[in-house]
Amino acid sequence: MPENLTRRGLLAAGGALGLTTLLAACGDEEGGMGGTDKGAANSPAAGPWSFTDDRGEKLELKAAPTGIVAFVGTAAALHDYGVRVKGVFGPTKTKDGKADVQAGDLDVDKVEILGNVWGEFNIEKYAALAPEVLITGMYDKGALWYVPDESKGKIFKLAPTIALMVARSSMPAVLQRHAELAESLGADLKAAKAVEAKARFEKAAGELRSAAKSNPGIKVLVASGSADLLYVSTPEPSADLRYFKELGVEFVIPDKVDDAGWFEGLSWENADKYPADVILLDNRTGTLQPAQLGEKPTWEKLPAVKAGQVVARVTEPIFSYAKCAPILEDLAKAIRDAKKVS
């Protein structure tokens, strides 16, 4: 959703709207891969390693890479499986130095941050990490998320890349691909923690389906606020929203979406164009949050806002079962408790 009113532009909104663990308990103060993280680190199988990404590109190495650099959300997902990285790029720290929402459980004080905002990527720091692989997501096939177009040539020369689709597919498929990548890098998907996380996600999916069925007719509007516009998203391109729709959630569908098919931008004077009972509000840094939106008179007049039926949306999910299960649980509760106000 962002740049030039494209998904790249608005999504970067977390960094430009208006648009990992790294070493979470690593013993090497310089950012090496030693040490432990609440137990033994995962160990990939010895010998040749290969992985085919969602571009259909197969990466083959003599051994599983340990010199990993990743988009912060991807690094956070890998971290949930116990896979460590050497550096991250993308929204990692807020202005006050705290972990950004996209950093998940990463220790942001121990990670090498190559870039914290849209368009920022320190190639010199990247080279110094001696990367074996760069991993990120794609909202459109071939466009590597948060890898700057103007410097990608230099970046690609330093290490091969792996890209996983995080959109235009349903959430379970995206989660499965991230789990497969983590497993190839040494994660044990049969470990209790991994099994429990997946079971919790599947249970949460059932709860959301049940909530939607038990409270029919509740209309959910997906919104992202900027100074000048209220963006209303359509569910089909987003992995999370597509899955919620499959589970029975009824969404407001904007009728004048952008050329890329992601959202419609409404002037604040027209913020009430679409009646809704629940608003899912973009939680990314860089987008307006409820306290700031309170300064917009038209926002305060929306029925869902007046009814207190505004729920944070994790617009760029961390694609691990552990992080996605609570998203489904929170939405299920919101829909189950919602009153018809539109």
User: pLDDT per residue over 264-316, tens digit each?
Assistant: 999 999 999 999 999 999 999 889 999 999 999 999 999 999 999 999 999 99
Phi, psi at 327, each rounded to 5° = -60, -45
Sign of CA dihedral 168, 170, 176, 182: positive
Residue 248: how many other CB atoms lie within 10 Å: 15
Same domain? For 41 and 117 the reply is: yes
pLDDT score of 36: 30
What's the gap between Cα 20 and its chain centre? 15
Whether 1 is covered by a domain: the verdict is no
pLDDT score of 42: 58
Same domain? For 139 and 208 the reply is: no
Same domain? For 106 and 237 the reply is: no
The residue among 190, 206, 224 that closes a domain is: 190
Containing 225, the helix (H) or strand (E) segment is strand 219-225
Helix axes 321-337, 171-184, angle to 10 degrees: 160
Q: How far apart are CA 68 and CA 47, in angstroms?
A: 18
- The CATH code of the domain that includes 142 is 3.40.50.1980
Place 92 in a pLDDT band, splitting at 50, 70 and 90. Answer: very high
The residue among 125, 160, 190 that closes a domain is: 190
Radius of gyration of the chain (CA): 20
pTM for the model: 0.88
Same domain? For 204 and 305 the reply is: yes
